[in-house]
Amino acid sequence: MVDTHAHLTFPDFQADLSETIARAKAAGVDKIINIGTDSEHNAKAIELTKKYDGLFAAAGLHPHEAQHFSDELLQKMEEFARHPKVVAIGETGLDFYRNYAPAESQYRAFEAQVELARKTGKTLVMHIRAAFKESWGVLEKADLGEEKVVLHCFGEGIEEAKKAIEKRYFLSFNGTLTFPKSTLPEVVKILPLDLILTETDCPYLAPVPHRGKRNEPAYIPVVVEKLAAVLGRSKEELAEVTATNAARAFGI
């Protein structure tokens, strides 16, 4: 199984990183992609790939950090992106829910990362919150191609999912799928199996029954199990399919 979106570079894991990775492996999660949010975490994510097997990195600037975007930072990101263990650009996108960065900065950072994805041929990892229409406008114009975009922590409805299916973008699910009031199971049911990815977004969004606690890659099987239950298929099948999808999405 694969955790396609983790933040093991965050201070939350400083005290027990090796144990956290060991627990993931023991749980059958043999690949983890640490997603970059700024220059510091991009560098740390790459460092981790040298220390541990099965770890990969993405280089990006989170929409919350978009006000720090500069040409220099973009150049640095491009250097990171050329590292063989860097398998994606992101996370990027638009977040008009928190609005931690001005919209103008968010657009600028996002559009630059879309171009970087095109230039490097890497897959783009998207964070979209309260900004689907706006994000879609940029993605449609950019037209990165089939299976080159991942909608991380997919939280939209069926209409938006259909648009993603049409483009053959991947949709990635985490602990939010297990929340009792989640409408995501209805979305999952309409998806082609070969576009579904699993992630934790750890340390955030731990699945039930760990909800509210620190999330970690070892909980990926809970998400796989939930997907299997929703789709009426076996856990083993979902584990295999989502791992194959991650292999295609990120070349891992």
Residues at the interface with Zn ion (CB under 5 A): 201
Q: How far is the CB of 202 from Zn ion (least distance, A)?
A: 9
What SS3 state is found at 119? helix
Secondary structure class of 176 (helix, strand, coil): helix
In terms of CB distance, is 228 or 249 closer to Zn ion? 249
Nearest-approach distance from CB 42 to Zn ion, in angstroms: 13
In the complex with Zn ion, the residue whose CB is nearer, 24 or 228, is: 24
Place of tokens 């997907």: 227
Nearer residue to Zn ion within complex by CB, 93 or 221 = 93
Smallest distance, Å, CB 35 to Zn ion?
A: 5
The residue among 65 and 228 lying less far from Zn ion, judged by its C-beta, is 65
Report, in Å, the least distance between residue 57 CB and Zn ion: 13
Q: How far apart are CA 169 and CA 220, in angstroms?
A: 21
CA–CA gap between residue 136 and residue 138 (Å, rounded): 5
